[in-house]
Structure 1
């Protein structure tokens, strides 16, 4: 994962092109913020989906995505159209990431809303709108006739998405988050669930809670791939290797390694040799 903030576009291109040549690296990610949430508060931050569409033709093999899209930023029908376009541009390599959005407790994240004229609703509204967004996005990708949708938060008339995504029935849906309310949405809608790393015991508890929510609705918990984001330490790779090992032991098989800028030369090869290969040999 290369957070597109406090970094130049060409640096991200360099890392993604290198990663695309290394089979051990299976996917590459951006994040979805409109302003910096770390470093210089007035520094550069690229819009995630625009950048993803630009990076797609720079690669040939990697699965690509935004980890995760803020559902607070874009109307869901518009987001479905954007994502379908990226899936086509990439030749069917999109993993569609979505979540409640934007770390509302983070002071630098909260300012994004007023700065861009976006409303900021309470948590109940945000989770409810995420549920409806997942429903209408899936329908837009799969249904062949226009439809109306009259939800509590989403209102659509004559909704239709054409062209459809390349992937059938639709791109994999990865929902990010750790709250109990979000995990209920994961149980209903996600193909993958992503959680930021940290306290591995809490991660395990959240995973068990997701299992319970799946059981309540009659879904096999094993049908949801467990994904975790782990920060990479260039100076102390052993810390990252230990975190990878803990995550794998906890049942997480989809590991997203977060790189910090500036990116060292040949960083994708370094990640492969120092982190991926050694972890696979455990």
Structure 2
């Protein structure tokens, strides 16, 4: 009987409506606490909550800075919008962050924001980025995962002529530190995205909130893996759970439900402003009581 992997807990600090030094304080504190194993940012260019004209830091730039200021935490974006950056450029950015971090990158990627989210939609027009339909978003995500993995692992330049991605003489040097490549985490819940997860992901992340839905989506992922001959257990199940500072019991209950449902990679979302000693509070109130 295979042994159930132990849960791995991490934190997420959305880099919006908050100062860089506040995020840095929390990450440095977390870096010194072994129970916190990973830390995450999000990938938006404008606020999706709070003051719509408030500050939002660019995710990959900030991640590289935090990678240089930490030593132990695994780190990533939950998740990179594949709509924002051409995949070959993204492969180069991610390889650089893996090098800066000494091989600690978990590469999070997704199809991009839902058209139904108006505050997320506006950032495309504001930055001159095209916003294609869902079929385009999912198809280009699958091609991006293929191209990015090839750029990280292949030693010779190659051409790629896909439906959405076209490259000539593509090559990535230097390569990431991790071999064969950084773990790929794909976030999302729609059936088309889950098919991409089955094909390409090492980890799959879903936002928490409705554990029954998460369980159903996980079962659908199992089915898609089986259809292509992949062991469903080879994909680590990850879930993002918002933290309640005032009512930690609610978060503890959500963690328990997620663990019982087979989610072993738990991302605890911290809202700003962060309390003093936030990482230690998370460890004492949520992690050590749940692990």
**Interval of TM-score (by shorter of Structure 1 and Structure 2):** over 0.9
1:91 is aligned to 102
Size of the alignment, in residue pairs?
A: 280
Instruction: Please state if 1:189 is matched with 2:174.
Output: no
Distance in 2 (alpha carbons) for counterparts of 1:201 and 1:260: 24
TM-score, length of structure 1 as denominator length: 0.99
- Which of 62, 69, 75 does residue 80 from structure 2 map onto? 69
Instruction: Please state if 1:117 is matched with 2:128.
Output: yes
**CA offset digits 1:18-75 (Å, max 9, x no partner):** 0000000000000000000000000000000000001101100000000000000000
Q: Unpaired runs of 5+ in structure 2?
A: 1-11
Task: Give 1:104 shift.
Answer: 2.6
- The structure with higher relative contact order (CA 8 Å, sep 6+) is 2
1:48 is aligned to 59
Distance in 2 (alpha carbons) for counterparts of 1:279 and 1:105: 35
Distance in 2 (alpha carbons) for counterparts of 1:32 and 1:117: 16
TM-score, length of structure 2 as denominator length: 0.96
Distance in 1 (alpha carbons) for counterparts of 2:69 and 2:116: 35
Distance in 2 (alpha carbons) for counterparts of 1:50 and 1:260: 21
2:139 is aligned to 128
**CA offset digits 1:199-232 (Å, max 9, x no partner):** 1111000000000000000000000000000000
**CA offset digits 1:233-266 (Å, max 9, x no partner):** 0000000000000000000000000000000000
Instruction: Please state if 1:30 is matched with 2:30.
Output: no
2:238 is aligned to 227
In the TM superposition, structure 1's runs of 4+ consecutive aligned residues that sit over 2 Å from their partners are: none
Secondary structure of 1:195's counterpart equals strand
